[in-house]
Amino acid sequence: MAELEEKVPDAAQPKKEQRPVITRRALCVGLGGTAALLGLGAVRYAGSAPLVRPPGGQDEDALVSACIRCEKCYEVCPRGVIAPAHLEDGILNMRTPVMDFSANWCDWCTEENGGTPLCVASCPTEALKTGSTPETGALGLAELNQDLCLAYRLIGCRFCYDACEYEAMALDENNRPYVLNDQCNGCGACESVCVSLQNGSISAGATERAIVVRPLEA
């Protein structure tokens, strides 16, 4: 190189000024991208409804702040009850973990992992915080919609009552189930077994089951 510079004595001169920190064009593109990111960030203030989250994810603000949407928690759940939140749940929440009790429910991994929630253990960002138990960490609260519930049509159903392992459901004098709010931890067992949607005439127009777990903050 030294050789070349001797032959072209002034090659070194322009070189110095031609090594800009950044070109104007690159800076503009970069700032454009930054502006887009800042614009997108504003979805934080667009307002989003709280969702039913996996154990340890009940502090909505903390979860949304920390979660990098890595999909690990939904993968490890042995019962497959964690799903990615949909666009319908807000852009901010999209792909963050929400509970899906359509086929199964959460027992804080008692059966599969001795009570240590696998989702919490595997969340690398601590978006799901440790320390949640069935007794202390309610995921939500079951809500029974009497208009949709078969038992309230006197069809005689008590699947949800039988499914609840936390003694959070009782039967009234007509054998109709109801939720004991202070006992319910939102595990979703009741929702996972509810058959109301399978009954066409009663559920006509219904989009959800007669008993669903609602987020606590809602």
Residues that bind other proteins (CB under 8 A): 1, 4-5, 7-8, 11-12, 14-16, 18-23, 25-31, 33-35, 37-38, 40-42, 44, 61-62, 64-72, 74-78, 80, 83-84, 86-88, 91-92, 94-95, 100, 102-103, 118, 121-122, 124-127
Task: Find, among 157, 153, 132, the residue nearest to 58 by Cα.
Answer: 132
Tokens linked to 111: 């059966």
Instruction: Compose the 143-162 pattern: x for residues touching ligand SF4 by CB under 6 A, - for all others.
Output: -x----xxx-----xxxx--
* Beta-bridge mates of residue 142: 213
Given ligand SF4, other proteins, none, residue 92, with its beta carbon under 5 to 8 Å by kind, binds other proteins
CA pair distance 215, 189, nearest whole angstrom: 15
Q: Rounded to the nearest whole angstrom, what is the least distance from the CB of residue 165 to ligand SF4 in the complex? A: 7
Q: Which of 60, 127, 137, 203 binds ligand SF4 (CB under 6 A)?
A: 127
3-class SS of residue 199: coil
If the CB atoms of residues 34 and 181 are measured against other proteins, the closer one turns out to be 34
Question: How many residues bind ligand SF4, per CB under 6 A?
Answer: 55
CA pair distance 128, 147, nearest whole angstrom: 35
Whole-angstrom distance between the N-terminal and C-terminal Cα of the chain?
Answer: 70
Listed in order, strand segments (DSSP E) in the chain are 82-84, 97-99, 141-144, 169-171, 177-179, 211-214
Residue 190 touches ligand SF4, criterion: CB under 6 A: yes
CB of 62 closer than 8 Å to CB of 130: no
Task: Find, among 72, 182, 191, 86, the residue nearest to 128 by Cα.
Answer: 72
Residues of this chain that bind ligand SF4 (CB under 6 A): 54-55, 67-73, 77, 79, 81-82, 97, 106-109, 117-119, 123, 125, 127-128, 142, 144, 149-151, 157-160, 163-164, 166, 168-169, 177, 179, 184-190, 193-196, 210-211, 213
